[in-house]
Structure 1
Amino acid sequence: MEAIRGVLVPGVLPENCYDEFFLQYNLLHVPCLKILLSKVLGFGIIAGSVMVKVPQIIKLLRSGTAEGLNFQSVLLELLALTGTMVYSITHSFPFTAWGEVLFLMIQTVTIAFLIQHLGNRTNLGILFLGLYFSVVSVLLSPVVPMAMVTLLQATNVPAVIFSRLIQAVTNYKNGHTGQLSAVTVALLFLGSLARIFTSIQETGDPLMALTYVVSSACNGIIFAQLLYYWNVTLAGEKKKKKKKH
């Protein structure tokens, strides 16, 4: 039992919940069940985030084009992810409450670079990488006051809204979703929905919860467009493959 305690406490369960489940066998203790569900969801979201945008990256590399992806939209999404990561680290939130943001940030930076690279602007892409990681280093340093970090997190809501609206408008104008990956869009939508619960449960921070509520709604719009334009997008991809052959 001590070995189990060492694994579960405090990373997965607090001491009192371990006692409720394993000593008193009270498996229906609601507050502890909420904590356990939140932790399991958190670990699941983080595990999924490691690969969530990989299908998008692979699709870009295989097609050799970034058609349908809007660079400004990606930048705004990156701003939101960076704000959440910096805000979470400075507030010492548990990794299970925000960990996926780190992996999504790395993958989003990669996509932003690929958009520039595939558009024959590789030098601009390299410059972007240097500037971005320099800014992140400064934001995580002690020189940045907490008020500025909170302000950065507060900008997440409009950043998420505008990033998704820009992409939605791009999809509407094109009449298809281009190189957007269905797997990536679906996972982002489901992950943001689950994060509403975990952010309330693990951080109790209304600003974090609001960010994920807005993110879920906006991701839902892109997901709905993906379904709506599904046949049109497939038809366009088939035509391109025929032209190549």
Structure 2
Amino acid sequence: MSAITKNLPAIIREPAVALIGKECYVSLVENLNVSDVECLKYAVSKGLGIAIVVGGSVIKIPQVLLVVRSRSARGLSFAAYVLETISYAISLFYSARNQFPFSTYGENLFLTLQNLVITFLIVLYQSPSSSHQSLSTRQPKKPTGVLFAAAAAAVAIVLTFVPARILSILQLLTLPLGLISKFPQITQNARAQSTGQLSGIAVSAQILGCLARLFTTATEVGDSLLTASFALALLLNIVIGGQMLAYQGNEEVKETTMDLSEKRAEAPHVYSPTPVAASAPMSVPSSPTPRSGTPQGGRKWARKVD
């Protein structure tokens, strides 16, 4: 078997060496030394890291499609997504500035971009309860969209040029920021007893991603700030996942009630004339006034001319 593993083609060997290093490649692949715990953990961490980055590039797509398809952002907290996006962006710039392996933070790039899209959709499609307009006629607020784009660009510029020392402080702030970012969503879910248009696929993927990222960060980076951030995110995502399970039966009732209220609001008003009361007496036309000289009710005589 080792004769095969030592003569693998370059198209397989070179990417594997680039991923786990020459030493671990020789130990795990060429020598088939599965007892090398350190290299084995490193290889598993690299594999998980790549899987997380690839998954992170599409993890929020179900949420985007759900909002666009229903043309409603009901149940999504604008404040939660804004704070979460800032937290992702800070971690992205912090990891890139410290030249950590891209496999340990790459999903933050895609999560930041996808969160920007979702946040803009929340602005675009206001909650049905906040407007009397139907979902089909609701129009985007252009000034709000422009301000939103300008704010996002300003945050990116600041994080790009901020000194490394301040960026480390900002990364430390992602711990309370991550905590605060989930509270509006958790509170909104608890108040409404529903998770609205929140995607169960996205929440489940975030829980699994946080679990995997805890392992990769501890194995490859060893940064206590990042580890604490992922641990906190895992805990809060589990809370939201528990809410989705607890409020699962409430979704259909709320959606049915909402659809009925919208149909009543959009139904055209049909004019119905006021019916004539049944007890009202029917008016009888008065008999014509008799001509003078003709007795009323008598017989009219004509002279016979010979």
With structure 1 as the length reference, what TM-score do the two structures score?
0.93
* Partner AA of 2:124 in structure 1: H
* Partner AA of 1:171 in structure 2: N
| Aligned mate of 1:123, from 143, 146, 169 | 143
1:116-155 mapped onto 2 (5 Å cutoff):
116-119=123-126, 120-141=140-161, 144-155=162-173
* Partner AA of 2:214 in structure 1: I
User: Deviations for 1:132-165, whole angstroms, at most 9, x for unmatched residues?
Assistant: 1232133223xx2111110111111111111111
In 2, Cα distance between equivalents of 1:176 and 1:106: 26
- The offset of 1:241, in angstroms, is 4.9
* Partner AA of 2:15 in structure 1: V
| Aligned mate of 1:45, from 46, 52, 60 | 52
* Partner AA of 1:61 in structure 2: V
- Between 1:221-230 and 1:55-64, the stretch displaced more is 55-64
In 2, Cα distance between equivalents of 1:166 and 1:109: 17
In 2, Cα distance between equivalents of 1:52 and 1:182: 11
Number of aligned residue pairs: 242
SS at match of 1:230: coil
Contact 1:114/1:125 (8 A) holds in 2: no
- The offset of 1:18, in angstroms, is 0.7
User: Deviations for 1:17-46, whole angstroms, at most 9, x for unmatched residues?
Assistant: 011023322123110110111111111111
Higher helix share: 1
Is residue 113 of structure 1 aligned with residue 131 of structure 2? no
With structure 2 as the length reference, what TM-score do the two structures score?
0.75
Contact 2:214/2:231 (8 A) holds in 1: yes
- Equivalent residue for 2:245? 227
User: Deviations for 1:63-119, whole angstroms, at most 9, x for unmatched residues?
Assistant: 212111111111110111011001000000111001111111001000111111113
- The offset of 1:242, in angstroms, is 5.9
- Between 1:15-24 and 1:70-79, the stretch displaced more is 15-24
* Partner AA of 1:7 in structure 2: P
Contact 2:28/2:40 (8 A) holds in 1: no
- Equivalent residue for 1:57? 64
- Between 1:82-91 and 1:53-62, the stretch displaced more is 53-62
Q: Which structure has the bigger radius of gyration?
A: 2
Between 1 and 2, higher relative CO (CA 8 Å, sep ≥ 6) is seen in 1
- Equivalent residue for 1:6? 14
| Aligned mate of 1:36, from 16, 37, 43 | 43
In 2, Cα distance between equivalents of 1:128 and 1:160: 21
Contact 2:52/2:209 (8 A) holds in 1: yes
In 1, Cα distance between equivalents of 2:201 and 2:257: 22
Identity %: 33
- Equivalent residue for 1:214? 232
- Equivalent residue for 1:18? 25
User: Which stretches in structure 2 are left out of the alignment for 5+ residues?
Assistant: 1-7, 127-139, 264-306
User: CA RMSD of the aligned region, Å?
Assistant: 1.6
